[in-house]
């Protein structure tokens, strides 16, 4: 059978194989013509059915994902019975309106009100209203939907435009092997939920919905974002098993070896993590530490920032799991397009140029200090470093560092245990930070180059905008020149320089990074073994040469061609 490969964005790691289950949310536009003779009774019955369903879902979610995750559904139960929701619907029906119309009208008014509210947390509640209204409408139309709860036995990959929180809770984890969604951010409720239970998720472009057919066999990779469709089940399983075996063999072979070039240049390979538990992966993949702990996940799906103790426990856990290997903890990087915990200001005209990351932290010193206290206290339990994101002015970094010192003094006065020296470094992810690298290097203990944002800001391309996304390429020589300049400035002053963008996890980039003298690379854990293998085949002379030539080219495509050639030659493929 012919095989087709689609590419989406992997947002929850893991490989899932199964048949595609194309879920279309139930048609909630039931025509008023099919209205029951006694609309009030019908409404009441629909509400009772909805309550039963919700109670069952709450029980299921509490068992599978914990009480925390069920809170949102218990909120649904309250809203369902609320006088402003149910009461108003009943009033309108008494006044002669059709039941379904009444539900839609009340839901629309409430959702609009919440969407107009100031806080991101409250705006998300509009989704809850839509969710409950959809449930009630389903009960009214007697349509139980393609229903995720009545999925036939088997192994399925659910394909849907998006999933409401209650639909996510409905998934039967014994049958579902993965999700392919068209919408929903990396921090949506559904994705966070999937991550917490280890369910692979790929978010694809909207047109994917037309290409994926119910019942076809497919495999998805929530790490790389690949969706392979159309092969038969056994063949796919075989292939995925082969791939996993190959990866495991590679990991096994390189686990206890450092990343060293053929002529002895050592590179430190670290991993990116979003939760403390993932620090364990460092040992499994033979990495040298954590190069990027994204602390924003601790702040997502919360109305307010987590308190000091909650954060401290997460950072301490990561530090102790690392058993002496270093952890670079990045301070809060939210705002702009991803407001969290009531921070940042939504609805900005240019979110990527707006109120985000360190810009928020320096205005909300209460939040920043709480996080710094938690990180510094954790420094007594392992090797912890602090990385400050989104620096565009040298003084922002100076202020952040001064804040670290103030917090340290306060902690020491309280008698708290804090490591003797905790290194602080800026992220180099704006062109201005790269160009001001000499001044920043004087202040910093280390640099970490964030190539994703650096590329976006240098090329003035929003990579989420499909009309211009093809202009986005981190191998653009302009980006490479900025990286090289930052690396040179750091080395001039004997400061370490690392990289934590997606370029770090690409084999292709290895000779460039070595050529630039970037010595610490932070990447997804699964990329570590392959990168080690490639590094071991390179020599510093080759790398210096590749780097020099790349910087003289004009187009990213030419750089890629050069890097592809280098890789083929080194690996003998």
Partner 1 sequence: MSVSKSVRIDDPSGFHIRPAQLFQEAASRFPCDIRVKTEDGRQADAKSVLGLMMLGLAQGDSISIEADGEGAEEAVETLVSLIRGGFGDSS
Q: Which of the residues are catalytic?
A: 189, 500
CA 324 to chain CA centroid, nearest Å: 27
CB nearer partner 1, residue 88 or residue 453: 88
> Alpha-carbon distance 237 to 164, whole Å?
30
What sign results for the dihedral spanned by CA atoms 533, 198, 332, 417?
negative
Residue matched to tokens 């510093």: 540
Residue matched to tokens 């993932």: 278
Q: Least distance to partner 1 from the beta carbon of 85, Å?
A: 6
Local structure of 113: helix, strand or coil:
helix
Is 335:344 a contact under the CB 8 Å cutoff?
yes
CB nearer partner 1, residue 301 or residue 522: 301
Closest C-alpha to 497, from 476, 521, 475, 477: 521
Count of C-beta atoms within a 10 Å radius of residue 87: 12
Rg (CA), the chain: 26
DSSP H helices in 255-392? 281-284, 308-321, 358-363, 365-378
Q: Least distance to partner 1 from the beta carbon of 346, Å?
A: 14
Q: Which residues contact 182 (CB under 8 A, 6 or more apart)?
A: 160, 161, 162, 203, 204, 205, 206, 208, 209
> Alpha-carbon distance 388 to 499, whole Å?
13
Which residues are registered as beta bridge partners of 290? 271, 327
CB nearer partner 1, residue 133 or residue 509: 133
* 278 phi/psi in degrees, rounded to 5: -65, -15
CB nearer partner 1, residue 114 or residue 521: 114
Q: Least distance to partner 1 from the beta carbon of 80, Å?
A: 10
Tokens linked to 117: 């509210």
Q: Least distance to partner 1 from the beta carbon of 572, Å?
A: 57
Is 385:367 a contact under the CB 8 Å cutoff?
no
Q: What is the 3-state secondary structure (H, E, C) of 500-562?
A: CCHHHHCHHHHHHHHHHCCCEEEECHHHHHHHHHHHHHCCHHHHHHHHHHHHHCCCHHHHHHH
Q: Count of alpha carbons within 13 Å of 14, Cβ hemisphere only?
A: 18
> Alpha-carbon distance 200 to 225, whole Å?
10
* 251 phi/psi in degrees, rounded to 5: -60, -40
Q: Least distance to partner 1 from the beta carbon of 46, Å?
A: 19
Is 419:431 a contact under the CB 8 Å cutoff?
no
CB nearer partner 1, residue 310 or residue 493: 310
Q: Which residues bind partner 1 (CB under 8 A)?
A: 71-72, 74-75, 78-79, 82-85, 110, 113-114, 117-119, 121-122, 125, 303-304, 307, 342
CB nearer partner 1, residue 309 or residue 465: 309
**Run of H or E residues at 416:** none
DSSP 8-state code for residue 393: S
Q: Least distance to partner 1 from the beta carbon of 48, Å?
A: 19
Q: Least distance to partner 1 from the beta carbon of 506, Å?
A: 41
CB nearer partner 1, residue 122 or residue 471: 122
Q: Least distance to partner 1 from the beta carbon of 305, Å?
A: 8
How far is residue 144 from each of residues 20, 32, 140, 149, measured CA to CA in Å? 20, 18, 10, 10
Q: Least distance to partner 1 from the beta carbon of 354, Å?
A: 22
How far is residue 552 from each of residues 49, 109, 476, measured CA to CA in Å? 68, 59, 11
> Alpha-carbon distance 122 to 113, whole Å?
10
CA angle 496, 501, 505 (to 5 degrees): 95
Residue matched to tokens 């690996």: 571
Q: Least distance to partner 1 from the beta carbon of 78, Å?
A: 5
């Amino acid at each position: 059978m012919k095989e087709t490969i689609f590419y989406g964005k992997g947002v929850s790691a893991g490989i899932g194989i199964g048949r595609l289950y194309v879920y279309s949310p139930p048609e909630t536009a039931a025509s008023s013509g099919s209205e029951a003779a006694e609309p009030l009774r019908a409404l009441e019955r629909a509400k009772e059915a909805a309550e039963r369903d919700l109670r069952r879902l709450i029980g299921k979610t509490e068992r599978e994902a914990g009480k925390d995750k069920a809170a949102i559904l218990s909120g649904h139960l309250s809203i369902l019975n609320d006088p402003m929701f149910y009461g108003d619907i009943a009033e309108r029906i008494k006044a002669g309106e059709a039941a379904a119309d009444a539900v839609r009208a009340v839901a629309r008014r409430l959702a609009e009100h919440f969407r107009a509210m100031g806080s991101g947390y409250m705006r998300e509640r509009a989704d809850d209203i839509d969710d409950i209204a959809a449930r009630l409408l389903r009960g009214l139309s007697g349509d139980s939907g393609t229903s995720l709860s009545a999925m036939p036995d088997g192994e399925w990959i659910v394909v849907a435009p998006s999933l409401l929180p209650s639909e996510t809770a409905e998934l039967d984890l014994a049958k579902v092997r993965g999700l392919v969604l068209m919408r929903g951010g990396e921090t949506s409720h559904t994705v966070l939920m999937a991550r917490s239970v280890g369910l692979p998720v790929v978010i694809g472009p909207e047109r994917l919905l037309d290409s994926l057919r119910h019942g076809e066999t497919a495999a998805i990779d929530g790490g790389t974002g690949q969706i392979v469709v159309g092969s038969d089940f056994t063949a796919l399983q075989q292939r995925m098993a082969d791939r996993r075996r190959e990866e495991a063999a590679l990991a096994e072979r390189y686990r206890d070896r450092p990343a060293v070039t053929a002529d002895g240049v050592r590179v430190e390979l670290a991993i990116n993590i979003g939760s403390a538990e993932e620090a364990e992966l460092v040992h499994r993949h033979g990495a040298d530490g954590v190069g990027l702990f994204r602390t924003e996940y601790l702040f997502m799906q919360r109305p307010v920032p987590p308190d000091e103790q909650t954060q401290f426990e997460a950072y301490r856990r990561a530090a102790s799991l690392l058993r002496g290997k270093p952890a670079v903890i990045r301070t809060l990087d939210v705002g702009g397009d991803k407001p969290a915990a009531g921070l940042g200001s939504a609805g900005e005209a240019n979110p990527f140029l707006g109120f985000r990351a360190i810009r928020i932290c320096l205005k909300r010193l209460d939040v920043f200090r709480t996080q710094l206290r938690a990180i510094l206290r954790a420094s007594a339990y392992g090797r912890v470093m602090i990385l400050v994101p989104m620096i565009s002015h040298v003084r922002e970094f100076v202020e952040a560092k001064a804040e670290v010192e103030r917090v340290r003094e306060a902690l020491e006065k309280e008698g708290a245990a804090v490591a003797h020296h905790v290194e602080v470094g800026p992220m180099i992810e704006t062109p201005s930070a790269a160009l001001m690298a000499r001044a920043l290097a004087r202040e910093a203990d280390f640099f970490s180059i964030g190539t994703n944002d650096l590329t976006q800001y240098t090329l003035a391309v929003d990579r989420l905008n499909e009309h211009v996304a093809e202009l986005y390429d981190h191998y653009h020589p302009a980006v490479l020149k900025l990286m090289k300049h930052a690396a040179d400035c750091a080395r001039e002053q004997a400061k370490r320089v690392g990289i934590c963008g997606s370029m770090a996890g690409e084999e292709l980039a290895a000779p460039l990074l070595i050529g630039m003298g970037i010595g610490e690379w932070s990447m997804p854990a699964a990329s570590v073994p392959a990168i080690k293998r490639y590094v071991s085949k390179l020599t510093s002379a080759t790398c210096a040469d590749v780097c020099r030539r790349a910087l003289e080219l004009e187009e990213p495509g030419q750089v890629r061609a050069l890097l592809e050639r280098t890789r083929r030659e080194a690996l003998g493929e």
